[in-house]
């Protein structure tokens, strides 16, 4: 006997949108939803499985028996199966048992739209109705200011499972514990935003969350969905934005996941040249299928809508853009124009960004894109992909390569450092020192620095201060802010005990003060994506391995002068050309003793002279400490 009552959340208009790939709120329709029908409380289920001959809901309420609760297929060829099951309420475990028309195959799948999942390695979906009273109205009302591209954007990247652990209990912190400890720490460090590596449910810890099976469910490893909302809420109450890593590029082949969902390639592209990722041994979404586009765009909007998320960092964009990504000749087919671009994926990204910025104009999307594909962060109406920002992978690669060199050799490689300025304003760039740079034998950031211990830490302070004063926004992976020595290990906690040592604590203080400098000086953020906000003073003093530049605010009333010395030789009377007369004062010095430096500084105000230098009418002599950055400001 089938105990399913015919019921639907879908209107004809919903179905037309779904078929056209234009339904961007599918989480309100598909999945499981607690409701009442004719006064009887239960749960409405709906799942897309067009190749099925039958779909049963199996769960702990029917002893996981196929056929007891068989859904009804809609008459409109949408491929949606739906129905209401009385008595099924909050917390019920379930899956879909799908009997396919294709080769009589049967699959047993978790709900693609489930709001909660069992704790891995268990794989069932959980009926859930996440009620939460938000207390972040103040943040949401001013978010358009805090998230603007002319606002400070300093991001702390976090892997929740290994940021800090309860050692005595051998466990990670819960969402509730993180809402106190992580929030307080980020606030102390003065970061403007937190970026979380994927929090969506995933079966395999070593994937770091990038192999997702539950796209609409925060992982149960750290608590309930409401507790994750508490973490978001607490961040907002402390004026901290939250960005989520989001993975629309691929998904794993786990039996309960999206792959081969109804006995056919439903979510993945049926052509393995387009549907399988050789590097990650995972499946690639079929961007040519309207219903799949609706799934992905609905998922992006779900996190922005239901969880008040402030931005999405879109993972592996390059792998989506190019048909030949990680493929040899013969392993890929050209597009209809003979090119290597994945035209369907490009259209998807444009549609995604158009809808996000239309519905949530006060958020940001950030592309992790490693190629020279043009106009990634330009608006779609100008022909761009429409992202708000793009990771500046070239800057990261060239800068780390330069800093790894002994200082005596750096004069031969100054171009590695200055080259980024030739393209710095072609995109809205974010400068990333992410988790990818401290794994797989690459060493920690401090581990790449040359010289003795003092020089290593001086180099690191120099790197960070150069990064924070370079045009663009910033991202730093957890542990790098106090110079963790070991590579990141997702199993273990960060080495917080290092903060008892002067040099490590000095790096932490450096980052905190750089965040304060960045937030409090309009010259560092008002024109961070505009060439008008930057001007070289000198980039070709390779003999001394020194560069100097000006960062300018919108009105050019409060410019900052930045001077970097990439050698351990202090320069006590180094003359720089300046844009105007007046008096300079030192507002930041990475060689300060409180950071572990030697203390060489410009303690007195610097009088600017009417003496030509660096093709300018005015100049001044300043002290430049060894392996350090000095930031000066006019004080007229």
Which residues belong to the active site?
Answer: 315, 368
Name every residue whose Cβ is closer than 8 Å to that of residue 480 and which is 6 or more positions away in sequence: 433, 438, 444, 445, 446
Residue in 622, 471, 610, 474 with CA at minimum distance from that of residue 550: 471
- CA 194, CA 61: separation in Å to the nearest integer? 40
- CA 321, CA 516: separation in Å to the nearest integer? 37
Residue in 127, 146, 113, 525 with CA at minimum distance from that of residue 308: 146
End-to-end C-alpha distance for the chain, whole angstroms:
86
Strand locations in 10-163, DSSP E? 31-37, 40-48, 52-59, 72-73, 80-86, 93-100, 106-109, 116-117, 125-126, 154-158
Q: Are strands 364-367 and 389-391 parallel, antiparallel or unpaired?
A: parallel
3-class DSSP state of 448: helix
Backbone angles phi, psi at 313, to 5 degrees: -95, 115
Q: How many CB atoms lie within 10 A of CB 347?
A: 14
Name every residue whose Cβ is closer than 8 Å to that of residue 294 and which is 6 or more positions away in sequence: 17, 18, 21, 22, 23, 24, 26
- CA 174, CA 365: separation in Å to the nearest integer? 27
3-class DSSP state of 273: helix
Helices in 238-284 by DSSP H: which ranges?
A: 272-275
- CA 44, CA 37: separation in Å to the nearest integer? 9
- CA 116, CA 119: separation in Å to the nearest integer? 9
- CA 349, CA 293: separation in Å to the nearest integer? 10
629 close to 562: Cβ distance less than 8 angstroms: yes
Q: Which two tokens stand for residue 382?
A: 């100008």
3-class DSSP state of 261: coil
Three-state SS for 487-541 is CCCCCCCCCHHHHHCHHHHHHHHHHHHHHHHHHHCHHHCCCCCCHHHEEEEEEEE
Please report where in the chains the tokens 């009997």 appear, as a residue: 99
How crowded is the C-beta side of 92, counted as CA atoms within 13 Å? 25
Residue in 149, 243, 158 with CA at minimum distance from that of residue 434: 158
Please report where in the chains the tokens 């990504």 appear, as a residue: 325
Backbone angles phi, psi at 224, to 5 degrees: -85, 160
3-class DSSP state of 634: strand
């Amino acid at each position: 006997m089938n105990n399913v009552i015919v019921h639907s959340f879908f209107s004809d208009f919903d179905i037309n949108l779904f078929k056209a790939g234009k339904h961007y709120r599918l989480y309100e329709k598909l999945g499981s939803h607690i409701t009442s029908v004719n006064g009887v409380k239960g749960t409405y289920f709906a799942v897309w499985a067009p190749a099925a001959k039958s779909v049963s809901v199996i769960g702990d309420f029917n002893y996981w028996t196929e056929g007891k609760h068989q859904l009804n297929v809609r008459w409109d060829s949408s491929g949606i199966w739906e129905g209401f099951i009385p008595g099924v309420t909050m917390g019920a475990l379930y899956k879909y048992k799908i009997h396919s028309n294709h080769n009589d195959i049967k699959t047993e799948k978790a709900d693609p739209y489930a709001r909660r999942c069992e704790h891995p390695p268990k794989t069932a979906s959980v009926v859930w109705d996440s009620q939460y009273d938000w207390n972040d109205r103040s943040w949401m009302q001013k978010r358009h200011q805090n998230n603007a591209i002319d606002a400070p954007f300093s991001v702390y990247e976090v892997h929740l499972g290994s940021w800090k652990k309860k050692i005595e209990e051998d466990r990670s912190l819960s969402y509730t514990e993180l809402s106190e400890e992580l929030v307080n720490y980020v606030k102390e460090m003065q970061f403007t935003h937190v970026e979380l590596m994927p929090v969506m449910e995933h079966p395999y810890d070593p994937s770091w969350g990038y192999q997702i099976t539950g796209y609409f469910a925060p992982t149960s490893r750290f608590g309930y969905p409401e507790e994750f909302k508490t973490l978001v809420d607490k961040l907002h109450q402390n004026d901290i934005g939250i960005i989520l890593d989001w993975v629309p590029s691929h998904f794993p082949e786990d039996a309960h996941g999206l792959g081969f969902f109804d006995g056919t390639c439903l979510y993945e592209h049926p052509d393995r040249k387009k549907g399988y990722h050789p590097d990650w041994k995972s499946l690639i979404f079929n961007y040519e299928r309207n219903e799949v586009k609706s799934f992905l765009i609905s998922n992006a909007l779900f996190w922005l809508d239901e969880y008040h998320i402030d931005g999405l960092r879109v993972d592996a964009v390059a792998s989506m853009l190019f048909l030949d990504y990680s493929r040899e000749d013969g392993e890929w087919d050209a597009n209809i124009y003979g090119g290597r671009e994945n035209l369907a994926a490009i259209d998807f990204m444009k549609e995604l960004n158009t809808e996000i910025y239309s519905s949530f104009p006060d958020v940001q999307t950030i592309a992790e894109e490693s190629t020279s594909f043009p106009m990634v962060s330009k608006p779609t109406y100008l022909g761009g992909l429409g992202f708000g920002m793009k990771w500046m992978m070239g800057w990261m690669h060239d800068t780390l390569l330069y800093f790894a060199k002994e200082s005596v050799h750096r004069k031969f490689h100054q171009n590695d450092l200055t080259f980024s300025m030739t393209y710095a304003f072609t995109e809205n760039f974010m400068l990333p020192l992410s988790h990818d740079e401290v794994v797989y034998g690459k060493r920690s950031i401090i581990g790449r620095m040359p010289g003795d211990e003092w020089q290593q830490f001086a180099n690191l302070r120099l790197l960070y201060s150069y990064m924070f004063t370079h045009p663009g926004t910033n991202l730093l992976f957890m542990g790098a802010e106090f110079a963790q020595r070991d590579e990141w290990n997702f199993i273990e906690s960060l080495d917080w005990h290092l903060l008892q040592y002067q040099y490590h604590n000095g790096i932490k203080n450096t980052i905190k003060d750089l965040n304060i400098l960045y937030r409090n000086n309009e010259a560092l953020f008002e024109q961070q994506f505009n060439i008008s906000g930057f001007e070289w003073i000198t980039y070709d003093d390779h003999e001394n391995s020194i560069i100097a530049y000006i960062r300018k605010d919108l009105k050019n009333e409060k410019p900052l002068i930045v001077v970097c010395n990439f050698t351990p030789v202090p320069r006590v009377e180094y003359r720089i050309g300046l844009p105007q007369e007046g008096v300079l004062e030192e507002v930041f010095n990475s060689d300060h003793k409180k950071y572990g430096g030697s203390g060489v500084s410009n303690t007195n105000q610097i009088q600017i002279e009417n003496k030509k230098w660096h093709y300018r009418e005015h100049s001044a002599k300043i002290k430049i400490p060894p392996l350090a950055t000095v930031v000066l400001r006019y004080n007229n």
